[in-house]
Structure 1
């Protein structure tokens, strides 16, 4: 199609269409834009070409397809050029330290990783490119082991099969945080024209500054896992049969090696899901956080193999879901907060066995603001420190790094979305190491004639019962989402928030709005945690002790809510507390979110 054939009636759009047709060398996406222009589909072209994927949760994530608003070869090239230019500007040592690049098993991930590698090499940055699919934690771990300046993981984690992503890490091994995200975005926009050799992946693979660190990093990672075990002899004698699913993702071979390295007998794989498959044929959503709907085949495999514990990784293996068979024969899928309680207790117990010489005053645990405060309750009683951060491991990883620079010990960090950081060798969530810690914990507890569920109840009896009620609604219309949150900020008149829900039954004591920076609980009414105007997040603290947060997802079209009520160790009526929380949450949803009026789609369990 010639330039002259493009005439949509919108000069800016015509310019972008010509630009795309000139720069894109991928036949499929090039043809998509050609087709749209020939049919003068102005609405779709505007959506794809006049908008650009912006850095969100430490990188990009979106639907694969043509246009600047989606994930494709050209966007990967432009993103990597911008990142490469920014990296060498703010950290000239990157030209000797290099970057680590990994990828998952999704459609296009292999190619995206190699196009990214070509861009960094063109920017004068050496590349450590994993030759095979790897778990996401291998990128931050590799950065620290190799002394690299940054890292990229091509993955969309647990998103639907149509999506892909580009996750960015800094030289400290943690995901990027401001101001790097805006700096990289600006640099991308300044380096949109593909550089010479940008599309030549064969040249990149043969480049002298390109190397594959997989064998070295694998050996170091599994050696680290093995040495982190409390008692490998105990593990070898474990009578437990662990059923493991990789959810059609990258983890199967790595989990086989992890079980061997840590002394356990071979795991029982969910065979239908152990081979990487970007189509995710056996699950509606490849997300073990969805619970029972994603674990049907795991239950079946476990039941057939006399297995009582299920370990489920998401497709890029940075998260871990856990289920345990109950005496009734039913399966209990632990929530992320319940896992967090168990991991937190286990981290503290292990530290007292392994590092008694370290004072509790120098020990820390970290959790995001929407996660359970069970770690705070344990910390208050045991004498170590608890730190709360904004949502996401980019914040927890960077806070942990800062603590390590002060010679502090970071024992554990978690987010309720089944993300766990055990120790500080990987400053990000890691589903492989979490699985090993869980297997070790379950084995130890069995020796004490306890199950995971038994221990969870014991933790609540000792530190106080913590009950959560978390879920989400799907909404694809950003205008609906914005109006919903603006209504909460101007509830009865401008700049007023709701004072109660449930016909006055549940009184709202304080409001923290991390979109605007308002916090009624602070003397100056200014929030302590960082503020982000690009995302919606409001927290309501109720007079009955409930804390409830409404926020938008950074990676999916979801409005999420998180709530928790905590009892003292002396309070025994857990059922009443749970029922009260359920009633409060329902009142918030109906009165503040108004799902029926706004056309929100509820989570489908």
Structure 2
């Protein structure tokens, strides 16, 4: 790779078996309507007609036009007032920040702060986005009026904007209903995985989930699923964005009607049918129900003030597991997230403090935490040897789940799986190549090592589960089976027909695995060591810095492509030689003969460095948060784990100091 020149510089765009009658969750009130305004132009005098705007000027004709359009189109009194107040106070910079750009699709759909503005999540931008989606579907789905769409939502809300996930879901439904398109609109909040499940169940043309997943409480989002149940691909989201830009003005008063989704004969509530079938489908992942019923393992579960606990409890019931014990302060849905500054279980010990404290108090063995929309899962267990709680990384959980899914697959194939109490199961058998495991390219290579040794097929995708989901769909169409998939940010999918990560089913699978190991006098930590002895030690770390300025992000990555004016990528990191470079955002890979990356070109920035001593390091901008993420992994079957951990920390520090320059670039909040 020495002397390797850079590809041309072109800036990427910044991303933006269960109970017959399931126990249904109840919404914590219905925040769709505000007591002061229904948002319906037929019942709210504040929202009728085209309001007469004050002929005030910001001094910027383009911005004046954006303000005029906002005040003309928006019929939510709260968000109209926000823009009018900024105009009255001549806060030009804030107006430009809110109105100067539009939402774009990132790795998980549209995601932004709630509030007034074309680049925020609010009534108007959801109506605009849904109109664009509706136009796109009309063009490519000839049976749209027969197939319909599925719409779900979580529990997020922002009082000052009269904005909530429930309200936004009702408005999205109104857009489709106004065009006589059937809508399967859930009557209560649901985990994100139930939306793609419903899309497949009903053969719907698309699905929408209103959620910001694990983002800060002020955020919300709009995730779109195609008819195959996977998130829309990048090529499709560009088509939808184009359709949105062509249909920015709300079509009719009906698009603002919150009542339409309650009164239309074209609206169906799918909750009971979907939940019943979902529980039966997930029940097929249970392989040791008798053992589960006899286990003494106790599990604490936190839903992080989100939607997960009711659903996790029901899946545990299907598996015959002891009911998960909720963290009382975090059990019920609460859009204020009062006990966590960031509702992201991936943050580890600080956000899991209440869960670990309760587990100590009641002498529980296992802690599970789902994020607010319950598509991701964090895992902790008290180590049998040290007596200390161990919080497992996403890569470590994936190593365990990959082993567990393969073990049970072979068991289902009637193969001998007898194991000694203190040894991991012998996996040295060859399987047909139609069994796959998938991972994102920034995740650990542990699945690659397992698949290589055991004769399975393995593939990588770009970061973001939408890439995994669409690849799963392609493999399923070709008759292949995807046994397990994951992304390092605690997103897992265990042998499901639905191509989306699922924290609810993963929680039950992990609990069953822990019960099985407990029965054999093992815990997760011991079994992880067994896995590493068999497939090589994989030590990894994911960290990040916060960067709110897109220009700073661009400058950092441009410098790496022309490192300190050399015309080349950096040749060393922390004194270690860099052997190869892949810059997916430029379609460049020095390992390939033609120097073209195999993975598709991505939006944002992502550069991978292969260093000496089997070290892989990747820097990438997040598609959902203002972060630059740092991924490092070292693989070895010769060296000691503590030695690798020390080197891992050193490499991470070198990447931070030499490549990201946190002081110079005012980067904050690094987690190392």
Question: TM-score, normalised to structure 2's length?
Answer: 0.88
Deviation, structure 1 residue 3: 3.3
Larger mean Cα displacement after TM superposition, 217-226 or 49-58: 49-58
2:597 is aligned with 1:539: no
Check conservation: 1:157, 1:316, Cα contact below 8 A. yes
1:507 is aligned to 577
Check conservation: 1:58, 1:177, Cα contact below 8 A. no
| CA–CA distance in structure 1, aligned partners of residues 589 and 310 of structure 2 | 47
| CA–CA distance in structure 1, aligned partners of residues 402 and 541 of structure 2 | 20
Question: 2:527 is matched with which residue: 447, 455, 463?
Answer: 455
Q: Return 5+ residue gaps in structure 1 as ranges.
A: none
| CA–CA distance in structure 2, aligned partners of residues 542 and 123 of structure 1 | 56
1:581 is aligned to 648
Q: How does 1:463-478 map to 2 (within 5 A)?
A: 463-478=535-550
2:630 is aligned with 1:566: no
Q: How does 1:136-535 map to 2 (within 5 A)?
A: 136-196=192-252, 197-327=254-384, 328-355=386-413, 359-493=431-565, 495-502=567-574, 505-532=575-602, 534-535=603-604
| CA–CA distance in structure 2, aligned partners of residues 51 and 424 of structure 1 | 38
Check conservation: 1:81, 1:123, Cα contact below 8 A. no
Residue aligned with 1:198, SS: helix
Question: 2:137 is matched with which residue: 87, 91, 94?
Answer: 87
Deviation, structure 1 residue 336: 0.3
| CA–CA distance in structure 2, aligned partners of residues 261 and 420 of structure 1 | 19
Q: For 1:352-381, what per-residue CA distance to the aligned partner results, in whole angstroms no more than 9, with x for missing partners? A: 011359943210000000000000100111
Check conservation: 2:383, 2:390, Cα contact below 8 A. yes
Question: 1:551 is matched with which residue: 620, 628, 644?
Answer: 620
Q: For 1:386-419, what per-residue CA distance to the aligned partner results, in whole angstroms no more than 9, with x for missing partners? A: 1111001100011111111111111000010000
| CA–CA distance in structure 2, aligned partners of residues 7 and 491 of structure 1 | 45
Check conservation: 1:58, 1:169, Cα contact below 8 A. no
| CA–CA distance in structure 2, aligned partners of residues 93 and 112 of structure 1 | 25
Larger mean Cα displacement after TM superposition, 89-98 or 169-178: 89-98
2:173 is aligned to 117
Deviation, structure 1 residue 494: 5.7
Check conservation: 2:208, 2:222, Cα contact below 8 A. yes
Residue aligned with 1:361, SS: coil
| CA–CA distance in structure 1, aligned partners of residues 491 and 338 of structure 2 | 24
| CA–CA distance in structure 1, aligned partners of residues 618 and 179 of structure 2 | 43
Q: Return 5+ residue gaps in structure 2 as ranges.
A: 1-50, 158-163, 416-429
| CA–CA distance in structure 2, aligned partners of residues 454 and 176 of structure 1 | 39
Question: 2:147 is matched with which residue: 90, 97, 101?
Answer: 97
RMSD: 1.4
Check conservation: 2:312, 2:505, Cα contact below 8 A. no
| CA–CA distance in structure 2, aligned partners of residues 142 and 494 of structure 1 | 53
| CA–CA distance in structure 2, aligned partners of residues 344 and 199 of structure 1 | 47
Larger mean Cα displacement after TM superposition, 255-264 or 353-362: 353-362
| CA–CA distance in structure 1, aligned partners of residues 449 and 484 of structure 2 | 14
| CA–CA distance in structure 2, aligned partners of residues 147 and 359 of structure 1 | 33
Q: For 1:451-474, what per-residue CA distance to the aligned partner results, in whole angstroms no more than 9, with x for missing partners? A: 011000000001000000210000
Residue aligned with 1:564, SS: strand
Question: TM-score, normalised to structure 1's length?
Answer: 0.97
| CA–CA distance in structure 1, aligned partners of residues 244 and 606 of structure 2 | 28
Residue aligned with 1:563, SS: strand
Deviation, structure 1 residue 124: 3.3
Check conservation: 2:656, 2:662, Cα contact below 8 A. yes
Check conservation: 1:259, 1:436, Cα contact below 8 A. yes
